[in-house]
Structure 1
Amino acid sequence: MFESFSNSEILSGMITPAVLISASASLIFSTANRLGRIFDRVNLLKTEVEKLLEGKLAYQEERKLYLTNQLSIQKKRAVLIQRSMAFLYMATSLFVISSLTLAIVLAVSKEYSWIPTVIALLGGVFLFLASSFLLYESRYNLTFIMGQIDIAEFLGEQIHREKPEKEGNHSL
């Protein structure tokens, strides 16, 4: 029954999906962490919006623009991460199916030996798509970070502008 496959072909056919499953699982774990970070950032932004609405923060208009922009970025990031997760789970499923299909094909008939390969290739396509979404999402993360830097610089400039005025008032 197994004469058409060498031991090395069977072994590599079973190991390759396992390695790809492990790679997908690693990406799923890191992507889930990224989603958690987005959640944390949105909660911090929400707290800042609440303080802004209560009038507890200075520079209302500048902060409103900043917060609106930052929340929009986080929303886009969350959608990209969710899509990446869906593709990663699909890739993992396809790699598992590929491994199972190989075992079934070896037991049934060699004429269907192309099926596990096609399924594994399809899993590779989903893994590529997920990676592409993660790459795209990382650009939004950079945009978020640059926004954080911009508001920090703005607030720093305001402190420097106000400081000489306050020092001047004390000397009078």
Structure 2
Amino acid sequence: MFESFTNSEILSGMITPAVLVSACASLIFSTANRLGRIFDRVNLLKSEVEMILDGKKNFQEERMVYLRHQLSVQKKRAVLIQRSMAFLYLATSLFIISSLTLAFTLAFAKDLSWLPTIIAIIGGICLFIASALLLYESRYNLTFINRQIEFTEFLERGVQKK
């Protein structure tokens, strides 16, 4: 029953999920940083709205239209980031379960040796979905950046006209 423990199958089979767990951890860390940057941007936008409402900024109507759009973009980005983090955590869990299932099946149930592979494939799919969401979010962030550039150019033109 325990003769397979002397075989290198367990160790080599458990390394691949461990590497994928490490990859997920790196993505989770960078994604959490992205979420933090979104929070910071929303706070800056909120401060800008408060200054407009207090009458401390010119082009108030134009600024409010711009800020509403930017807050909408940040809201969408936050949702995408949250979904990608959920898939990253799920993928991490599946890779860990895959590794443990491999050890269990090699030790006790060789006829179920397909199970860790299926679990790892599902984890890989979750990792792919998270990556696709992050890619979409980064492209969506371009909307924020382009709009900010356009509004800055508008303000510059408005100041030059005065």
Q: Give the shorter-chain TM-score range.
A: over 0.9
1:134-161 Cα deviation digits (max 9, x unpaired) = 0111111110011110111111111221
Q: CA deviation at 1:39?
A: 0.1
Deviates more, 1:70-79 or 1:146-155: 146-155
Q: CA deviation at 1:118?
A: 0.5
- Could you say which residue in structure 1 is the equivalent of 2:91? 91
Name stretches of at least 5 consecutive residues in structure 2 with no aligned partner. Answer: none
What is the one-letter code of the residue matched to 1:73?
V
Cα distance in 1 for residues equivalent to 2:29 and 2:85: 9
- Could you say which residue in structure 1 is the equivalent of 2:104? 104
- 1:53-72 residue pairs with structure 2 within 5 A? 53-72=53-72
Cα distance in 2 for residues equivalent to 1:161 and 1:60: 17
- Asked if the contact 1:4–1:110 (Cα under 8 Å) also holds between the matched residues in 2, the reply is no
Q: CA deviation at 1:11?
A: 2.9
- Could you say which residue in structure 2 is the equivalent of 1:47? 47
Cα distance in 2 for residues equivalent to 1:138 and 1:30: 12
Are residue 11 (structure 1) and residue 11 (structure 2) matched? yes
What is the one-letter code of the residue matched to 2:82?
Q
TM-score by length of 1: 0.89
- Asked if the contact 2:4–2:106 (Cα under 8 Å) also holds between the matched residues in 1, the reply is no
Q: CA deviation at 1:43?
A: 0.1
What is the one-letter code of the residue matched to 1:76?
K
Cα distance in 2 for residues equivalent to 1:7 and 1:107: 10
Give the fraction of aligned pairs with identical amino acids, expressed as a percent.
Answer: 73
For the pair shown, the structure with the greater C-alpha radius of gyration is 1
What is the one-letter code of the residue matched to 2:100?
L
Q: CA deviation at 1:12?
A: 2.5
Name stretches of at least 5 consecutive residues in structure 1 with no aligned partner. Answer: 163-172
Other structure's SS at 1:106 match: helix
TM-score by length of 2: 0.95
Change (3 A) 1:144 1:6: farther
Cα distance in 2 for residues equivalent to 1:57 and 1:26: 41
Other structure's SS at 1:55 match: coil
- Asked if the contact 1:95–1:119 (Cα under 8 Å) also holds between the matched residues in 2, the reply is yes
What is the one-letter code of the residue matched to 1:84?
S
